[in-house]
Amino acid sequence: MNETTPYAVLGKIDDPTALRALPHAELRRLAQEMRRNLIETMARNGGHFAASLGTVELTIALHRTFDTPRDRLIWDIGHQTHPHKMLTGRRTGLEMQRRVHGLAPFLSRAESEYDAFGAGHAGTSLSAAAGMAAAARLKQEHRRVVAVIGDGGLTTGMAFEALNHIGASAEDLLVIVNDNGMSISENVGALRGRANLGDFFNALGFTYDGPIDGHDLDTLLDTLERLRDTEGPRVLHVVTVKGKGYAPAELDPIAYHGVTRFDPVTGTFATPGGTAVPTYSRIFGDWLCAAAARDPRIVAITPAMREGSGLVEFAKRFPDRFFDVGIAEQHAVTLAAGMACEGLRPVVAIYSTFLQRGYDQLIHDLAIQNLPVLFAIDRAGLVGPDGATHHGAFDLAFLRCVPNLVVMTPSDSHECQRMLDLALECDGPAAVRYPRGSASLALAAAEPLSAGNSRIIRESRTRRGPRVALLAFGELLHAALQIAEILDATVVDMRYVKPLDDHRIAQLAGHHELLITIEDGVLAGGAGSAVGESLSAQGLCVPLLELGLPDRFVQHGSRDELLAQCGLDPAGLLRSVQKYLRMLEKESEPIHQAPSAAPKIGEK
Amino acid sequence: MNETTPYAVLGKIDDPTALRALPHAELRRLAQEMRRNLIETMARNGGHFAASLGTVELTIALHRTFDTPRDRLIWDIGHQTHPHKMLTGRRTGLEMQRRVHGLAPFLSRAESEYDAFGAGHAGTSLSAAAGMAAAARLKQEHRRVVAVIGDGGLTTGMAFEALNHIGASAEDLLVIVNDNGMSISENVGALRGRANLGDFFNALGFTYDGPIDGHDLDTLLDTLERLRDTEGPRVLHVVTVKGKGYAPAELDPIAYHGVTRFDPVTGTFATPGGTAVPTYSRIFGDWLCAAAARDPRIVAITPAMREGSGLVEFAKRFPDRFFDVGIAEQHAVTLAAGMACEGLRPVVAIYSTFLQRGYDQLIHDLAIQNLPVLFAIDRAGLVGPDGATHHGAFDLAFLRCVPNLVVMTPSDSHECQRMLDLALECDGPAAVRYPRGSASLALAAAEPLSAGNSRIIRESRTRRGPRVALLAFGELLHAALQIAEILDATVVDMRYVKPLDDHRIAQLAGHHELLITIEDGVLAGGAGSAVGESLSAQGLCVPLLELGLPDRFVQHGSRDELLAQCGLDPAGLLRSVQKYLRMLEKESEPIHQAPSAAPKIGEK
């Protein structure tokens, strides 16, 4: 495993055409080199790892058997696609994957013609493949369509919806089930365990082949060649080992699902420098264990995100009260609703981006019935390296329009715990929404924390120039505090997006010449927009600058880089404020007076 | 079928306890009387009809066998629950169902302790039942849980997610599949047709019984009694006839799914008075046929709403290009994405409330990849008698935060056609959003219609008092025009919610003392909120009154009644405007000057 060993075979493969020209005898060597490259690259740079170790042979066999990119190859989610990127001209790019301007974390149509469909969330491949197969039929283009979905991806409702449609419409389509028994953690659900998968697919109108060994290249090639030229909806069940070929990852595929830098020989992860500050996920997990120990009504539900959501300890201590439902966000929400009807206090731990999957259930089953379910929304705002498909950019906008829902944005570790407590006391649904990564340490609050109220952290003392108030939602409070020193601004930790502290907003409007909202979420319909609505509803007219995520999809990079890219670091915030102040100054000159002039309502 | 014939048996049944005490010999008579009552009531009042005719015997058998409400009986959707309402003390209330203060259109926990879980959307019953069964287990309350789901409901992804979880967790739960072969129209999907349902459920870890005749009371009672006291996840497959016992409905269950008043003897529907004004659904359907005749790339996708979405004609004329995917909104959206990748121009016809189910797919599969798919969003805003679960109240808020998406709100029939044309020309996803019911006739526009622009319909000429501009989104433009005469207000048809006509907003702000937005959607994050954001972003400060739906769930009634209830009829709008003007007047008095005073930014 020497980094300088050349890749004698892999080095020749710039695209699948070269792969298809390779002598059969060299394929095994190619697989070895691909695995070695993957281990070396991930050890240096980190990234999603173990799933890709399991798909080396499958990827070779698929690109060798099918005429990609003319034939459409659609991968579900994308955790397993490093081998695919390697064979489609992006091997060296993997060094920079997930970084700014580097390769995409998952699949991207913009990145390669071999990425037939972008991915990131689970279960989308079958629907996309069905659409492509139908299009090929209607356009009489005789291309083949292959979708690769994991046994984890098969637990999503949308995968079932697609199967049910494909089976009935008899679309010409090959589904590969990449069965490694794992979601990020162990896969769950009745379909797990292989024995009944054939019956399941037959019942849905598919012909079923397998299971076959997904690391046996010859069997893969033979089987795919045979299935390539049959017709109708058909499934090939391929059994793979997550982490295959790298012993530490085979032994602990959960730890090696996504990795930071590690020693390729020992498998030991590099220890992060500095003191360990707890992440929000950890704060939530610890809080939940403590709360559950006090209150037997508490149960926890996760859609296949035990590790990421900080639930490992809870699952160990309270196995009966822990529900991993698979990648099934819709079911997770309505399961919670059913439990809440019976007096339990369900806590749904979910990533912001995946809550988009349970949106209707949140409205229809929870909010309309006003059932007390707590949402612990992790990975809110910019998530960093997982990129556009995973940012939790929209939650404040899509949540705050829902009646009966309480939405809170903690700004530090203590606030997070306090808000989780407050959420448990709600009579209806409540959400506490926090970002990926470490929580700031608690500020000494100038005001006591109470339900529904904001708190003033700093008061402007200026007597010269415009008085400015910064209204921060969540962690960006700390960036606001930094620029407040320069602007001598009032700083308010707004805490609640819903209900909003209208009274405070009116007070601030009365004593400041400019209000500025700051949030780690899209501006359109977000928390700043709510402040604008509050001002309007109260008949108050004061300049309002809303700062947050832009109206475009932000790509990948570190969270700090992306915050800076969006102007949400202290320097960016300051620039925006100063630019706005200059604009207001200009507009208050006589020639532009009309728009910003005082309302003339009273002057009949 | 005489309305005055007394209900000798049904009249005695005030609740299921009375049903359980009834001599077995009277059950058949009870079923007859229930059916007669249902026909008479629906003939007089209209409502969801044919599905309930099919569940008379099943409902009797369930309430007689199980100890409701202690045992939990959970109905999916609720179209089939008139017999359930009859037997649980709500028979006479059915006369006023769906009207203001009348019985709920579907199920409601607030209405009856026998409604174990509220319903309206499809596929929720299994998740709710799983939650209740888990709670019963954890709390050691030995109650039984029964869910009744149709074969249509089984096509939803969330039903599969629940089955997969229940089968694995071995929750103690009985699922009744009420198989009538129908969604609102013919059910679709590979599971349709009964033969393979046993294999499907077995593969998911359920014991399977059936199929049995759902109109044979004795078989139902015997089977349910046997299954009541077995354990684990089990399913009973019951075959019923939609429309059973009423010949016209049996012959045409689609026409009698939901009915307006009809002659109970002949089955003839009352013809509505006045001239027939086309509905938006009809305008869309006609437009689609014409567009598809011109452009072979156009295909249409519906999640089981062929009739409601105006697609009957398209399905007939272009059967190869028509895709009814079942109650599968998630799949519908990503299927469209796959087709768009291949150069087709998919049109997804969907109700606003059901698009909530495809929200993640819209963001993740369409908007991120910027694929050209047209959403024809029907039933936007208040829908009327279908009530809280069906209002399309949230779409403007949850759509306008999504980058790359274009969102249009037509105000009349001509605008609707024009916008559908414009949407087809978009390079990315676009939505045209319109309400239930008839479209207003086209106004003579003062300005030509062009992409991205609003249009001025009326200009204020006032020189006395405050100059007011009404910015209307969608059909409520016509209410705005009515009050504009009284206020001598400028009226603008905003047309686009996204992108917003910022230039127009700045112009209006420059020449008016008050801007008023009007929309048929929630205020929080809605179109008015977008106007506020636009003003803020442009550094403009002018009083803004946002009028729209309140932050609560609106119940059922006629659309006009509900609009009035929400203050969105002309009288209500005028009241709100006048009240706001008075508030501004008060605040401009010296003592309250600060908040609404001119920005002092320039005065250093």
Amino acid letter, residue A384: G
DSSP notation for A221-281 = HHHHHHHHTS-SEEEEEEE--TTTT-HHHHH-TTTTSEE-SB-TTT-PBPPPSS--PPBHH
Instruction: State chain A's mean pLDDT as an integer.
Output: 93
Longest dimension (CA), chain B: 92
| pLDDT level of residue B465 (50, 70, 90 thresholds) | confident
Do A288 and A347 form a contact (C-beta atoms < 8 A)? yes
Region A34-48: mean pLDDT is 95
* Residue A538 Cα, gap to closest chain B Cα (Å): 8
Select the residue of A117, A356, A583 nearest B363 (Cβ to Cβ): A356
> What burial class does residue B147 get, using C-beta atoms within 10 Å of its C-beta: 0-12 exposed, 13-18 middle, 19+ buried?
buried
Which pLDDT value is given to residue B601? 44
Q: What is the rounded distance in angstroms from the CA atom of residue A91 to the CA atom of residue A37?
A: 9
| Residue from B352, B307, B325 nearest B522 by CA | B352
Chain A residues in contact with B463 (beta carbon < 8 A): none
DSSP notation for B126-179 = HHHHHHHHHHHHHTT----EEEEEETTGGGSHHHHHHHHHHHHHT--EEEEEEE
> Hey, what are A544's tokens?
């309002």
Q: What is the rounded distance in angstroms from the CA atom of residue B531 to the CA atom of residue B538?
A: 11
Instruction: Report the share of chain B in percent with pLDDT over 70.
Output: 95
Q: Is the pLDDT of residue A2 over 60?
A: no
Region B307-319: mean pLDDT is 97
Q: Measured in whole angstroms, how far is the alpha carbon of residue B241 from the centre of its chain? A: 25
pLDDT digits (tens, 9 = 90+) for B267-292: 999 876 655 789 999 999 999 999 99
Do B305 and B351 form a contact (C-beta atoms < 8 A)? yes
Chain A residues in contact with B403 (beta carbon < 8 A): 522, 551-553
| pLDDT level of residue B18 (50, 70, 90 thresholds) | very high
- Where do we find the tokens 């009935």? A168
Q: Helix or strand or coil: residue A443?
A: coil
pLDDT digits (tens, 9 = 90+) for A530-573: 999 999 999 999 999 999 999 999 999 999 999 999 999 999 99
- Weakest-pLDDT range from A177-191, A565-579, B513-527: A177-191
Looking at chain B, the number of H-run helices and the number of E-run strands are: 23, 19
Chain B residues in contact with A533 (beta carbon < 8 A): 523-524, 528-529, 532, 546
**Looking at the complex, does the CB of residue A369 fall below 8 Å from at least one CB of chain B?**
yes
> What burial class does residue A586 get, using C-beta atoms within 10 Å of its C-beta: 0-12 exposed, 13-18 middle, 19+ buried?
middle
Helix segments in B271-387, DSSP class H: 280-294, 312-317, 329-341, 352-355, 359-361
Do A423 and A406 form a contact (C-beta atoms < 8 A)? yes
Please, which residues have CB within 8 angstroms of residue B587's CB and are 6 or more apart in sequence? A539, A540, B593, B595, B596
pLDDT digits (tens, 9 = 90+) for B587-600: 776 543 344 333 34
- Weakest-pLDDT range from A582-586, B320-324, B362-366: A582-586
Q: HSE (CB half, 13 Å, CA atoms) of A438?
A: 11
- Where do we find the tokens 């670091």? A569
* Residue A600 Cα, gap to closest chain B Cα (Å): 6
Q: What is the rounded distance in angstroms from the CA atom of residue A33 to the CA atom of residue A372?
A: 54
Q: What is the rounded distance in angstroms from the CA atom of residue A68 to the CA atom of residue A17?
A: 9
Chain B residues in contact with A299 (beta carbon < 8 A): 134, 138
Do A326 and A302 form a contact (C-beta atoms < 8 A)? no
> Hey, what are B199's tokens?
């294999």
Which pLDDT value is given to residue A245? 96
**Looking at the complex, does the CB of residue A335 fall below 8 Å from at least one CB of chain B?**
yes
Q: What is the rounded distance in angstroms from the CA atom of residue B346 to the CA atom of residue B336?
A: 6
Sheet holding A406-408, edge to edge: A322-324, A298-302, A345-351, A374-378, A430-433, A406-408, A496-498
Q: HSE (CB half, 13 Å, CA atoms) of A432?
A: 31
Select the residue of B160, B529, B596 nearest A599 (Cβ to Cβ): B596
CA angle centred on B315, ends B423 and B318, rounded to 5°: 80
Q: Is the pLDDT of residue A230 over 90?
A: yes
Alpha-carbon dihedral angle through residues B297, B303, B309, B312, given to the nearest 10 degrees? 70
Backbone angles phi, psi at B377, to 5 degrees: -95, 110
**Looking at the complex, does the CB of residue B397 fall below 8 Å from at least one CB of chain A?**
yes
pLDDT digits (tens, 9 = 90+) for B139-197: 999 999 999 999 999 999 999 999 999 999 989 999 999 999 988 889 899 888 767 89
Q: What is the rounded distance in angstroms from the CA atom of residue A518 to the CA atom of residue A149?
A: 40
The strand pairing partners of A322, in sequence order, are A300
Q: Is the pLDDT of residue B446 over 90?
A: no
Q: What is the rounded distance in angstroms from the CA atom of residue B156 to the CA atom of residue A339?
A: 21
Which pLDDT value is given to residue B494? 98
Catalytic residue selected from A90, A91, A242, A418: A242
> Hey, what are B403's tokens?
């980058």
Select the residue of B157, B363, B536 nearest A161 (Cβ to Cβ): B157
Running DSSP on this structure, what letter comes out for residue B349?
E
Can A242 be counted among the known catalytic residues?
A: yes
> Hey, what are B249's tokens?
């409905």
* Residue A35 Cα, gap to closest chain B Cα (Å): 30
Q: What are the C-alpha distances in Å from B71 to residues B116, B117, B174, B218, B294?
A: 9, 12, 11, 21, 57
Which pLDDT value is given to residue B449? 73
- Where do we find the tokens 């490694």? A180
Q: Is the pLDDT of residue A602 over 50?
A: no
The two beta strands, B173-179 and B298-302, are unpaired
The strand pairing partners of B323, in sequence order, are B301
Region B444-452: mean pLDDT is 71
Helix segments in B295-371, DSSP class H: 312-317, 329-341, 352-355, 359-361
Length of chain B, in residues: 604
- Helices A27-45, A56-65: inter-axial angle, 10-degree rounding: 130
Between A271 and A341, name the one with better pLDDT: A341
Amino acid letter, residue B378: D
Region B448-477: mean pLDDT is 89
| Residue from B476, B504, B506, B500 nearest B573 by CA | B476
| Residue from A486, A447, A491 nearest A473 by CA | A491
Do A245 and A53 form a contact (C-beta atoms < 8 A)? yes
- Where do we find the tokens 């100038």? A446
Q: What is the rounded distance in angstroms from the CA atom of residue B231 to the CA atom of residue A561?
A: 55
DSSP notation for A570-592 = HHHHHHHHHHHHHHHHHHTSGGG
Q: What is the rounded distance in angstroms from the CA atom of residue B58 to the CA atom of residue A15?
A: 61
Chain B residues in contact with A186 (beta carbon < 8 A): none
- Weakest-pLDDT range from A207-221, A275-289, B488-502: A275-289
Region B371-378: mean pLDDT is 98
Q: Is the pLDDT of residue A599 over 70?
A: no
- Helices B527-537, A527-537: inter-axial angle, 10-degree rounding: 100
Q: Helix or strand or coil: residue A356?
A: helix
Which pLDDT value is given to residue A91? 95
Q: How many CB atoms lie within 10 A of CB B263?
A: 11
* Residue A548 Cα, gap to closest chain B Cα (Å): 12
Alpha-carbon dihedral angle through residues B563, A529, A593, A587, given to the nearest 10 degrees? -160
Q: Is the pLDDT of residue A150 over 50?
A: yes
Do A457 and A503 form a contact (C-beta atoms < 8 A)? no
Which pLDDT value is given to residue A444? 73
Q: Is the pLDDT of residue A155 over 80?
A: yes
Cβ <8 Å between A192 and B168: yes
Do B188 and A163 form a contact (C-beta atoms < 8 A)? no
Q: By CA distance, what is B463's nearest residue in A?
A: A604
Do A531 and A492 form a contact (C-beta atoms < 8 A)? no
